[in-house]
Amino acid sequence: MSDVIGEIPVNAMWVLSSENPFGRCRSQVVTFPARASGLLGGEVPVREFYHLYGAFLDYDKILAASSTGNVTLYKHHHNSQTLSVGQTWDSLHHHNGKGCPCTGLAATLPDIVTVGEDGRINVVRVDHRAPIRTIDNADSCTLNAVSLKAFEVITVNSTGQLKVFDLRRPSSEPTRIFLLSGDRIPLHCLDKHPGQPHIVATGGQDGSLYMWDLRQERHPVSAMDAHAWDMWEVLFHPTHPDHLFSCSQDGSLWHWDVSMTTATPLAMATPTASTPFPSRMPATSQTQTSPWLLAKSGKQKVEVSNLLLDNIMSVNSLDIVGKSVVCGTDAEAIYVIRNINIR
């Protein structure tokens, strides 16, 4: 079952809420550029934004990035359903003196990592005005997405590379570089397995789903044909990681399921400061290999279903809450698909 929530204005950030999970959502809209009266606790001048990338950091903090290279932290006041600006970091991403898009955000509070078209990585802290670290030459091309876990930063770029950085090291060089074999296909998105941090899923311009094992392989361990066009986002289910979701320029929203296995539960690995990727040993010594790493070999059954059968407009982003999936499309609509089959 799916619901459609409203039409989305251009260059707007919506805050949607619902006390009844099966009812219509109440919403708040912040539009850029504008002078937002009432929405931000009074008439507040809002700087010029051309594109927003946003994420909830916790219950009441929202992080938003723009194509001008700025990043803003908003405070969401639940009682009044208003937003206020908590912190702004200007021109985190820039080239030749001009701001350029911030293309990705990741956070492990209080630290936030940003990446952009300038190939730069910034690390900012919620209570600091200036970045606590900047890696100016992290990449020679656009960084499209980023993940942060403990001290490990993972990025994907427009030449099909996945890079791992260790923030504890003074060097700006990546500790490991992975790459697609064959053509240099841009990678747009990534997500780490919530229980096994050495497993990373990525998607890119060719619409394929790639699985990487950061313990040993330089290339993807599996590449599965997927969407007809670009894959814009990929997410493991946070509590049922045998389920994964991806969305695409071709208008599809896919549910990937590898839970149909008779194997025992996976061995879960927890990163530490000394072993950010636990179990850097041959996979044969593990209690069990993840079904995602066996998907392409034919040893693991993969079920795939499209959750938006009648949609033809690009699905640009998605999120998962319990048995519901939320996605936004080029049709200026938000879809909520409920009661997903999670085993």
Cα Rg, the chain, nearest whole Å: 20
CA–CA dist 48, 28 (Å, integer): 19
Q: Which residues of the chain have pLDDT under 50?
A: 8, 19-51, 262-287
| Residue pair 70/112 in contact by the 8 Å Cβ criterion | no
In the chain, what are the domains? Answer: 1-138 (2.130.10.10), 180-264+288-343 (2.130.10.10)
> Which strand (E) or helix (H) includes residue 211?
strand 209-213
What pLDDT does residue 59 have? 84
DSSP for 89-150, written as a single string: ETTSSEETTEE--EEEEEEETTEEEEEETTS-EEEEETT-SS-SEEETTS-SS-EEEEEEET
Interatomic CA distance for residues 259 and 256, integer angstroms: 9
> Which pTM does this prediction carry?
0.81
CA–CA separation, 97 and 300 (whole Å) = 51
Q: Quickly tell me which residue has 């600091």 as its tokens.
A: 128
The amino acid sitting at 219 is: H
Dmax over CA atoms of the chain, in Å, equals 61
Any idea which residue has 């389920």 for tokens?
A: 243
| pLDDT value, residue 36 | 32
pLDDT at 16: 61
Helix, strand, coil percent content, the chain, rounded in steps of 5: 5, 45, 50
At 332, list the tokens.
């200026």
* Per-residue tokens: 32: 């850029």
State how far the Cα of 240 lies from the Cα of 236, in Å rounded to an integer. 8
**What is the per-residue pLDDT for 276?**
44
| CA dist 208 → 183, 189, 225, 322 (Å) | 13, 11, 5, 26
Per-residue model confidence (pLDDT) at position 277: 42
